[in-house]
Amino acid sequence: MFIRARAPLRISLSGGGTDVPPFPQLEGGCVLSTTINRYAYGTLQPRRDGNICVHSLDFGVSVTYDPEDRLIYDGKLDLVKAAIRKLVAAEHRGFDLLLHSDAPPGSGLGASSAMIVALVGLLKEFEHLPLTDYEIADLACVIEREELGIEGGLQDQYAAAFGGFNYIEFLPDHVVVNPLKLSPNVLNELQYNLMLCYTGTMRLSSHILSDQIDRYERKEAMTMLALHELKALTVEMKNALLRQQLDNFGELLHREWQCKKMLSSRITNPQLDGLYATARKYGALGGKITGAGGGGYLLLYCPAERKHTVAAKLKELGCTIIDMSFEPLGLQTWRVNAYAPQVSTTE
């Protein structure tokens, strides 16, 4: 018997940064995001001994732990070890874990958090735990942000667990996920006009977020202004989508990116600014670097008649255009009966 799981990656349209503690606990944050057809995957197969064998295709690492190992955090597959410590009973049965993702950590698509959500889903099924989507996302946040002390926002775990288009509110003592009921016309037109391209560089989000947090805690005027403006823009963008007003969506995305860059001087660099300026010159109405910034993927809103021109110019500059569609579902888990391969013979 196998247990499989997949959790979708996401693109954050507006509000990223307002979900980074301590801002949401003190002032409340909000984001608008959607999941896409890129995933973090996991497969769990029970073993007859007590060993736990983890195979990470993204990192090219395979590790085996025996029942006596304490799963110490040492920088090697710590996310996996933390999930096991949180969810697997002390007298656990052994199992094999195979993990891989459609985008590497540092891509800006929430891959690390989606992997944690997929892991929680696998181990939940393995231990027969009745966890809700909120509880899965909450636990994923605890593992990353509290157990391991990894700095970052809170939106990715909820996006991966719930899936779809969501307006997510981060209040001082709880999180509210509001699914948006967008018309097929809006979804189709938005997907048709959006373009996702890989810039060719990755980034360490922790450095960017540390700078943002430090600026907020020092009450730096520009960062404070940007965070409050991002909240207002997120509400404005959500309302525009619900009212089927896509004519100003590109401009809202552009304004969001200008505000986002005010959070930290590390969010952009001359290369990214050059790519964005080229996209705007040839027809993109707006766009942003996904995630914390610094590299990864560039999301653009282009009128359909200009989209191919923008794509061609970005390819000339070394970018890779990524085929993308919206994913309405969040975490999914399922069981597969083990089977033996069929062997055909001919006489």
Question: Which DSSP string corresponds to 279-325?
Answer: HHHTT--EEEESTTSSSSEEEEE--HHHHHHHHHHHHHTT-EEE---
Predicted pLDDT at 25: 94
**Confidence band of 237 (pLDDT split at 50, 70, 90):** very high
Picking from 138-147, 289-298, 323-332, which range would have the lowest pLDDT averaged per residue? Answer: 289-298
**Confidence band of 347 (pLDDT split at 50, 70, 90):** very low
So what CATH class is 184-322? alpha beta
Which of 156, 214, 247, 273 is an active site residue?
156
Span 82-104, pLDDT tens digits: 999 999 877 667 899 999 999 87
* Residue 69 neighbours by CB under 8 Å, 6+ apart: none
Q: Per the structure block, which two tokens stand in for 20? A: 């980074």
Mean pLDDT of the chain: 91
Predicted pLDDT at 292: 65
Predicted pLDDT at 66: 86
Choose from 115-124, 142-151, 247-256 the range with maximum mean pLDDT.
115-124
Bridging pattern class, strands 95-101 and 165-170: unpaired
Count of CB atoms within 10 A of residue 118's CB?
A: 30
Rounded to an integer, what is the distance from CA 284 to the centroid of its chain?
A: 24
Span 110-144, pLDDT tens digits: 999 999 999 999 999 999 999 999 999 999 999 99
Distance CA 315, CA 324 (A): 17
Q: Quick check: 340 pLDDT over 50?
A: no
How large a percentage of the chain has pLDDT more than 70?
A: 94
For the chain, what are the domain ranges?
A: 2-181, 184-322
Taking the domain 2-181, which CATH number applies?
3.30.230.10
Span 9-35, pLDDT tens digits: 999 999 999 999 999 999 999 999 999
Predicted pLDDT at 346: 39
Give the largest CA-CA distance in the chain: 82
Predicted pLDDT at 210: 86
Q: Quick check: 339 pLDDT over 80?
A: no
Any catalytic annotation for residue 273?
no
User: pTM of the entire structure?
Assistant: 0.92
> Is-contact 39 102, C-beta < 8 A?
yes
Q: Quick check: 252 pLDDT over 70?
A: yes
The pLDDT of 255-265, averaged and rounded, is 92
With 0-12 CB in 10 A as exposed, 13-18 as middle and 19+ as buried, what is 340? exposed
